[in-house]
Amino acid sequence: MMTGMTPRLTLIAAVSADGFISAGKGVPWDLPKDREHFRAYTSGKWLLLGHQTYEEMLGWFSNHHPLVLSRDAKFLPFNGERVATVQEALNLTQKANQKELVVCGGSGAFSAALPEADQLVITHVNHLLGGGVPFPSFSQKEWEPVERTAYDRDDTHAYSFAIVTYQRVAHYDRAA
């Protein structure tokens, strides 16, 4: 029997002005203040990551509990657990009485989780990548910006950016 409340599902991403999260492999910009924000937001939380992003972030996890999205039943993550679906990840998170599950990408994980998501925390980077790994499109009608913090370019940030929190205007009934 399931206990506890359904955890809030948050997607956290840094997205280029033309809608990409990567030019191919790795993060395509170096924005220390955004890294700081990512570290602070995810600290101590249960995370959901696609297999590739998990491999890229190995060594970064400290007080996190990573759930790794993979179709390969033989894949055993070094830390955390493998899950086959977003729903399985939500069920495990709920069983552990966690209030939130934070989806950290990549594109596959974001696309699978977006229909279930309650909140988006997006760093909009003022830079065009011209192609690469996309963030799934989301409708401004469905998502309301509730908080926005802008950062200018400076000696350590080649691009200006804004961190925007969006909340779903009306969440469809997951149980329906």
Ligand X SMILES: NC(=O)c1ccc[n+]([C@@H]2O[C@H](COP(=O)([O-])OP(=O)(O)OC[C@H]3O[C@@H](n4cnc5c(N)ncnc54)[C@H](OP(=O)(O)O)[C@@H]3O)[C@@H](O)[C@H]2O)c1
**Interacting residue ranges for ligand X, rule: CB under 6 A:** 13-14, 21-22, 25-27, 50-53, 56, 69-72, 75, 84, 104-109, 112, 133
Supply the minimum distance, in Å, between the C-beta of residue 163 and ligand X. Answer: 12
- Shortest reach from residue 84's CB to ligand X, in Å: 6
* Shortest distance (Å) from residue 29 CB to ligand X: 8
Q: Which residue is nearest to ligand X (CB)?
A: 106
Nearest to ligand X of 68, 98 (CB atom): 68
Toward ligand X, which CB reaches closer, 26 or 170? Answer: 26
Nearer to ligand X, 4 or 35 (CB): 35
Give the DSSP letter string of the chain: ---SPPPEEEEEEEEETTSEEESSSS-S---HHHHHHHHHHHTT-EEEEEHHHHHHHTTT-SS-EEEEE-S-TT---SSSEEESSHHHHHHHHHHTT-SEEEE---HHHHHHHGGG-SEEEEEEES----SSEEPPP--TTTEEEEEEEEE--BTTBSS-EEEEEEEESS---TT-
Structure tokens that stand for 40 in this block? 């602070």
- Which CB sits closer to ligand X, 41 or 118? 41
CB of 142 vs ligand X, minimal distance in Å:
20
Query: In the complex, what is the shortest distance from the CB of residue 119 to ligand X, in angstroms, rounded to a whole number?
Result: 15
CA 33 – CA 152 distance, rounded (Å)? 11
Q: In this complex, which beta carbon is closest to ligand X, that of residue 4 or of residue 18?
A: 18
